[in-house]
Amino acid sequence: MNFTESIFKAYDIRGISGEELTNELAHAVGRAVADFLPDSGPVIVGRDMRVDSNDLAKAVIEGLTKQGRDVWDIGLVTTDMVYFGAGRFADEVAGGVMVTASHNPGKYNGIKLIGRGSVPMGAQNGLMDIKEIVKSDGYKPAAETAGKVTERSITKEWVDKIVEFLDVEALPKWRIAVDAGNGMGGAIFPALQERLPFEVEQMYFELDGTFPNHVANPHLVETLADLCATIKKNKLDFGLAFDGDGDRGGLVDDEGNPLPEHIIGAMLSKQFLADNPGAKIVVDLRVSHVVKDTIEANGGTYLRSKVGNDAIKTIMRNEDAVLGIEASGHYYFRDAYFSDSGIIAVMSVVNILAKSGKKLSELVSEFGQAYATAHETNFEVEDKQGAFDRVREKYQDGEQDELDGLTVSYGDWWFNIRASNTEPVVRLNVEAKDQATLEHRLAELTQLIGG
């Protein structure tokens, strides 16, 4: 079997389809997961709409059942539905597997794993064990009787969970657009739409893993161009967008302007603290200080975290935090089994908007005026250590910490530089009190990192 060690990432398995990630490897992962998870209970398996996701999911299922593990095949779903299923049915299932490469281009695919109760399975808690089992062919003997596969839909239960975050009766009859980017949002949003009073213009709801219209990644502002244009042209109230596997969502206001992720985080923080006075909120260290200021101004406890799914979920569980916020646009909810969900995030903002009685553009203007923030910048750097050393020496007079990469803080600006957990790049985030300082420091750091 062709085994490419590098496809085992910090949070999931991800690689080029047919080359790095093959059906044979997916079958091996299924066997390893069956052996690693607790003895009792079936495993939920879902998949996205990518060209080979069905074949990869079948291979995973065959691996699971070969080891005697029963399977709930929940079919074409969003990733957050697998997280939900592992939590909602924790008394019945041992965990879950989702075949997806999230927002990556069409030539990629991947496998995400989750434990019983929606406990994460990343590099620190299970994924590397799976990797070693696969690498060494260290499986238990195949079962004498193969596990059975049950096809099951959990869409109704999932929509019921989303609606728990809404006051449906208070929602106006808005006219909106939803861009599914040919991803899994197009399969699931219609089930929620039936419960909402909105008039919805559906954009790119056809499932197509080649992403013929644009990359399904609302974190990249350029992918929202069609949605922004539609809102302006048709004078809609706002728009929603989802990434390929639906675990991230974005919003565009009534003027056709995309909402930055940190503004969404600040809005959610203010509302969740109003509903849960004094609660704790976990925030990854790259996120704008707008969120930190909002949490503290509204009586909450700000908990700073390393970047990543595992780190945020673990702190949230340990601290019983009500909300988690990641700079990449993942939002985590205690009341959704401490998991991230794109659709719960955007619909929670919609709920906030309904309560406010304002336009979304008016609501946005209440946040984010205190800082100038640069969009995350990626650098392909051969000598990563050299780049870090240059930066560390240049800014040795600042307040430095290495919780994740290197963060340096001054009175009027701060930055973080870190090596990506998922791509061969160095990522830079910079924020300042004014635009001139931001531009100066960003140019300075860009030159320094590039050598």
Active site (catalytic) residues: 102
Nearest-angstrom CA–CA distance, 193 and 157 = 15
Query: What kind and span of H or E run contains 296?
Result: helix 289-297
User: Regarding beta strands 13-16 and 108-115, do their DSSP bridges make them parallel or antiparallel, or are they unpaired?
Assistant: antiparallel
CB 186 within 8 A of CB 211: no
Q: Judging by beta carbons within 10 Å of its beta carbon (0-12, 13-18, 19+), is residue 399 exposed, middle or buried?
A: exposed
Exposure b/e, 150-182, CB count within 10 A at least 16 = b: eeeebbeebbebbeebbeeeebeebebbbbbbb
Query: Distance (Å, rounded) from C-alpha 333 to C-alpha 281?
Result: 10
Q: Which residues of 36-59 are buried (b: 16+ CB within 10 A; e: fewer)?
A: bbeeebbbbbbbbbbebbbbbbbb
CA 339-340-345 angle, 5° bins: 130
Helices (H), ranges, 320-372:
342-356, 360-364
Strands 43-47 and 95-99, bridge-based pairing: parallel
DSSP string, 89-118: TTTT--EEEEE--TTS-TTEEEEEEEEGGG
Residue 413: helix, strand or coil by DSSP? Answer: strand
Strand order from edge to edge, sheet including 71-76:
13-16, 108-115, 95-99, 43-47, 71-76, 149-151
Strand partners, 301: 280
**Amino acid type, 181:** G
Least Cα distance to 188 among 16, 394, 353, 48 occurs for 48
